[in-house]
Structure 1
């Protein structure tokens, strides 16, 4: 089947299936992941495909060393990245540092838990839509144990590249820093879907970058706390977008300023956790 029949736009690099093909694929997908065995099989298959693709990418070792050195000095962080960058994150995260991701207990969530489990990531069960309290309690326990959690602030349904308040509220409650992450490759595709996910092209070169930690303090009351949360949410949104530009520039071999031109991404310095 030629690319145009699959719904690929050569001008934008966005690829997708036709309506009939997509409907048939979704039926097969749902039938497979309803069973425990099928769910494991699909998870293992996807993880194998991702690993095979990632092995062809020339990732910068300097990026990995820098991030590992930072994490070694922390007692748990809140790792955040846009949903569109999900594909490579389980592969890029340094495996010597335990990382937990929030997953919904429905079939798709269980399948994704198998995928990330193949890369050493662990799962906190809950949902930002259906079981927010269970998910929040699980994330808090992980952070209190000195381990890190991964969140997509615009997931699971969007709108894309728009930070929800959840990650900054978690940072305010736990006192743990939010650390934005992003990756980019010199060549990539964009998938169809609400987030237009980035898919690296094989044998490309890539960079994995980390932004400055954001600490979210507390105010003198609920109104002040809400104002701090909104300020933090906006600054995290700006930081993630700037980090995306930085990763893309570095992946293309371009220089990037060592000092960010954005406003200082620290919230309420006076109440920064010790």
Structure 2
């Protein structure tokens, strides 16, 4: 076992990382664009899917007001690295549903993805919010896998695409060039208008359209800074 994947080490790192994010996100001056439709969905209640690119995981807790919004769960992969992320976001109020539908090369991965899909669908139908990184856990970068679209089609829940950016921020040397905020910076949250997918909508078409729109609002968030 690699030292960084030892359960005790991962738990310690998750504690440190969540504390760092809490400091950074709480001291960032956030600018929010197109927040009104999101406020309306918070007031209305019911299941909702939130999508942001994998590189923005560290910024994502800032977009969801736990005091007013639906209770949220995050879809996190079954990979060893996913365990660290799951523990960190849980400490920030975003418990995880473990699994991913974007990597099905092994039977246990496929089984985990199917179970995560079922759990996510039940959560949405119960009125919860589900946060998804549609290009995770291993990319390609800003390429949307089918999971979010299939959940939207099956549940009928509205989909919120959100672009996130902060400055200054560290860029991590990972496949997605992940962004980690620094304290006392500036941040931007840009929402696309809510989307609903019909059951007979073409999955490939929606994946392409949603990916383009999610990248667009992400670039808009970056431009705000």
Shorter-chain-normalised TM-score: which range? 0.7 to 0.9
Question: What is the alpha-carbon distance in structure 1 between the residues aligned to residue 90 and residue 50 of structure 2?
Answer: 17
- Aligned runs of 1:92-111 on 2, under 5 Å? 92-96=63-67, 97-111=70-84
1:51–1:91: 8 Å Cα contact kept in structure 2?
A: no
- Radius of gyration: which is bigger? 1
Question: Residue 63 and residue 120 in structure 1: after superposition, are their counterparts in 2 closer, same or farther (change >3 A)?
Answer: farther
Q: Normalized per residue, which structure has more strand?
A: 2
Structure 2 counterpart of 1:211 = 192
Aligned residue pair count: 215
Give the one of 124, 127, 137 matched to 1:156.
137
Structure 2: state its 5+ residue gaps.
104-108
1:125–1:138: 8 Å Cα contact kept in structure 2?
A: no
1:190 aligns with 2:171: yes
1:188–1:201: 8 Å Cα contact kept in structure 2?
A: yes
Question: What is the alpha-carbon distance in structure 2 between the residues aligned to residue 119 and residue 202 of structure 1?
Answer: 16
> Equivalent residue of 1:55, what SS?
helix
Question: What is the alpha-carbon distance in structure 2 between the residues aligned to residue 218 and residue 52 of structure 1?
Answer: 42
2:56–2:164: 8 Å Cα contact kept in structure 1?
A: yes
RCO (CA 8 Å, sep 6+): is it higher in 1 or 2?
A: 2
Structure 2 counterpart of 1:147 = 128
Residue 114 (structure 1) shift: 1.7
2:33–2:190: 8 Å Cα contact kept in structure 1?
A: no
Structure 2 counterpart of 1:45 = 16
Q: CA RMSD in A?
A: 2.3
* TM-score (norm. length: structure 1): 0.71
Structure 1: state its 5+ residue gaps.
1-25, 220-224, 253-274
1:123 aligns with 2:96: yes
